[in-house]
Structure formats: C-alpha cells, structure tokens
C-alpha cells in the first residue's frame, strides 16, 4: 500500500479549497484520496442545530455517525495528523489543507500577491496571472506552477509527495 501525503498552504481566499477539490475530483476515479482540512479559527460548522448528532455532540461526548455510504466523526479532542491518517485506513494520497507547521512537502497557493512569510515552508507555489513575478525575489529552488493547470500540479504532487 502506497500512502503519500502533501500539504497546501496560503492566505485565506487564495483558492486552497478550490484547488484541493479539483485535484480530488480528478484523482478519486484512480486513487483512494483522503483530505484533512485545518480550521485554525475553530469556526467550521458541521451539523445543523437540533439534529441528533448535534445534540449528542453537545453532551460533550465524541460522536460517530455511520451510514451505508460514509462515517463522520465529531470529537472534542484535537488529534495529531498521524492519528487521523490511521483513522482513514487505506489511502493513496492524503492532502492536508493548512497546518503549515506540519513537516510535509507543501504547495503555497497565492492570488493577487505572494505573502513572503509562507516561502520558508513551501517547496513550490501555484499562482495565477494576477501575480507579477518581477515584483518578488523568490528562491531559485522554488518551483512555480500555474494555479489553473491542474495536470501540472498533480504531476508535481506525484513527484514530491512524502511517503507516510
């Protein structure tokens, strides 16, 4: 079993979620894909008020909702990425959105401007035509990808993802 991982980082509104979604849609017919999304502001809302899982979760218990097509876990405990990866079981590619301190190969996503503070944690950046590269002094080792070229980004992922 090949279990590889790659991470995506960038400022809010840069297109991280859209890119991860595009890649997942492209790959799920050929590979088992898993995704972890970081919610640093703790603002994600997963269930509607008053539904059974919401009511159970509000008791303080960890809750798993199991159906014929999916399993959803609601937990009050923060978990390490390795533990979450184990919960996924078999997968070919794990994509992590956010968690920029996690030691994984990382693609930075930028629109309109490159926030240079991210350059210390990325090996490549994906940008669109809104960015003028002549305005930046980028490291020579940095790979620059077209944000709209999903095939090239997948190729970079295949060459740079880390074995878990």
Q: What is the pLDDT of residue 11?
A: 94
Whether residue 35 has pLDDT greater than 80: yes
Q: What is the arithmetic mean of pLDDT over 11-37?
A: 93
- Between residues 25 and 44, the one the model is more confident about: 25
pLDDT at 44: 61
Helix, strand, or coil (residue 74): strand
Q: State the pairing for strand pair 4-9/162-163.
A: antiparallel
* E strands, 11-88, in order: 33-37, 63-66, 71-74
pLDDT digits (tens, 9 = 90+) for 49-102: 877 778 778 877 777 777 788 777 777 777 777 788 888 888 899 999 887 778
Q: Record the pTM.
A: 0.85
pLDDT for the residue numbered 54: 80
- Domain limits, the chain: 4-43+79-163
Of the pLDDT bands very low, low, confident and very high (cuts 50, 70, 90), residue 36 is confident
Question: At 40, is the pLDDT very low, low, confident or very high (cuts 50, 70, 90)?
Answer: low
Q: What is the mean pLDDT of the chain?
A: 88
> Which range has the worst mean pLDDT, 9-18, 66-75, 87-96, 125-134?
66-75
Please give the Cα distance from 110 to 142 (Å, whole number). 14
Nearest to 81 by CA among 3, 137, 24: 3
Q: What is the CATH number of domain 4-43+79-163?
A: 3.40.50.300
């Amino acid at each position: 079993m090949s279990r590889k991982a790659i991470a995506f980082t960038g400022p809010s509104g840069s297109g991280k979620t859209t890119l991860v979604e595009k890649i997942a849609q492209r790959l799920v017919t050929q590979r088992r894909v898993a995704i972890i999304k970081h919610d640093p502001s703790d603002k994600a809302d997963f269930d509607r008020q008053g539904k059974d899982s919401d009511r159970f979760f509000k008791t303080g218990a960890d809750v798993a909702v199991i159906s014929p097509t999916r399993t959803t876990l609601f937990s009050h405990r923060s978990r390490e990425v390795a533990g979450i990866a184990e919960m996924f079981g078999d997968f070919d590619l794990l994509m992590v959105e956010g968690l920029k301190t996690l030691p994984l190969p990382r693609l930075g996503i930028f629109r309109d401007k490159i926030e240079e503070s991210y350059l210390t944690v990325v090996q490549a950046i994906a940008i669109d035509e809104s960015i003028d590269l002549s305005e930046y002094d980028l490291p020579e080792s940095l790979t620059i990808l077209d944000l709209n070229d999903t095939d090239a980004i997948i190729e970079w992922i295949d060459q740079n993802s880390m074995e878990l």
